Amino acid sequence: MPGSFASSPLVKICGITRADQAQQIVTLGADALGFICVPTSARYLDPDQIRCILETLPRFSRAKQPLLSVGVFADASLETIAQTLALSQLNSVQLHGNEDLDYCLTLKQSHPHLTLIKAFRVKDQKTLYQAQRYGSAVDFFLFDAFHAQALGGSGQTWDWTWLDPVPMARPWWLAGGLTPENLQKALVNCAPAGIDLSSGVEVEPGIKDLEKVTQLFRLLALPDPTSHPV
Ligand X SMILES: O=C(O)c1ccccc1N[C@@H]1O[C@H](COP(=O)(O)O)[C@@H](O)[C@H]1O
According to CB under 6 A, which one of 26, 45, 53, 72 is a site residue for ligand X? 72
Q: In whole angstroms, how close is the CB of 82 to ligand X at the nearest point?
A: 19
The whole-angstrom separation of Cα 149 and Cα 156 is 11
Binding mask 147-186 for ligand X (x = CB under 6 A): ----xxxxx-------------------xxxx--------
Neighbours of 90 (CB within 10 A): 26
User: Which is closer to ligand X, CB of 11 or CB of 197?
Assistant: 197
Neighbours of 146 (CB within 10 A): 15
> Which segments of 92-153 does DSSP mark as H helices, in order?
101-110, 125-131
According to CB under 6 A, which one of 21, 53, 71, 96 is a site residue for ligand X? 96
User: Does residue 208 touch ligand X according to CB under 6 A?
Assistant: no
List the interface residues with ligand X, window 20-59 (CB under 6 A).
34, 36, 38, 41, 43
User: Which is closer to ligand X, CB of 2 or CB of 153?
Assistant: 153
The beta strands (E) that lie in 19-129 are given as 32-36, 68-73, 92-95, 115-122
The whole-angstrom separation of Cα 24 and Cα 21 is 5
Whether residue 141 contacts residue 120, with contact meaning beta carbons closer than 8 Å, is answered with yes
User: Under rule CB under 6 A, how many of the chain's residues touch ligand X?
Assistant: 26
According to CB under 6 A, which one of 26, 196, 208, 216 is a site residue for ligand X? 196
User: Which is closer to ligand X, CB of 182 or CB of 227?
Assistant: 182
User: Which is closer to ligand X, CB of 32 or CB of 137?
Assistant: 32
Q: At what angle do helices 19-28 and 47-54 cross, to 10 degrees?
A: 50
The whole-angstrom separation of Cα 159 and Cα 27 is 32
Q: In whole angstroms, how close is the CB of 152 to ligand X at the nearest point?
A: 2
Whether residue 153 contacts residue 205, with contact meaning beta carbons closer than 8 Å, is answered with yes
Q: Contact residues for ligand X (CB under 6 A)?
A: 14-15, 34, 36, 38, 41, 43, 72, 74, 96, 142, 144, 151-155, 175-178, 196-200
